[in-house]
Structure 1
Amino acid sequence: MFSDEDSYDDADLIDTSYDDIDMNIDQDEDEGKNCIILNQDNIRQRQQEDITEVSTLLSVSRASACILLLHYKWSVTGVNESWFSDEEKVRMT
């Protein structure tokens, strides 16, 4: 089977050279970036607002608006741009 000569030391398998990695992490890089943490109620409210906006603007049912938003990854702008550039193509989606 295996002898002591066949065994490998884990250190032989691990490359510890970091030549290709930039280890200079700029702490100031994240400063000025803002984010908002949403809870489930906030997300549902925003989804309902987006569904209403798409439904109203495109004169489609709320169900159709929801399907369109799902297809366009919840981008109201994406739905609107596609709709107004080629409505028939979007309807066939």
Structure 2
Amino acid sequence: MRGIIRVGDTHTHGGRVESGAATSKVMGHAVARVGDTCSCLVHGTCTIVEGDPDFNVEGRAAAFDGHKTSCGAALNSSVVDSGRI
């Protein structure tokens, strides 16, 4: 299962997801989507550029484990039991 990405989840460049959906939450944390921002220890600020087009959250594709940021990092879900098969 690919876990959904939420605000606070990390990525492979050492940063974390900083923004997410206004009202859609999983286990108390906002769901991250294409266009939401991340911090990056290598590149500064980046955005999520990949998501599942079949899983729309507040008008944008939701991000899942392994999806990429604009700086090339792969997102890491902290909730591997909540996502897509």
Larger Rg: 1
Length-normalised TM-score, structure 1: 0.20
Which structure is richer in relative contact order (CA contacts within 8 A, separation 6 or more)?
Answer: 2
Pick the structure with more helix per residue: 1
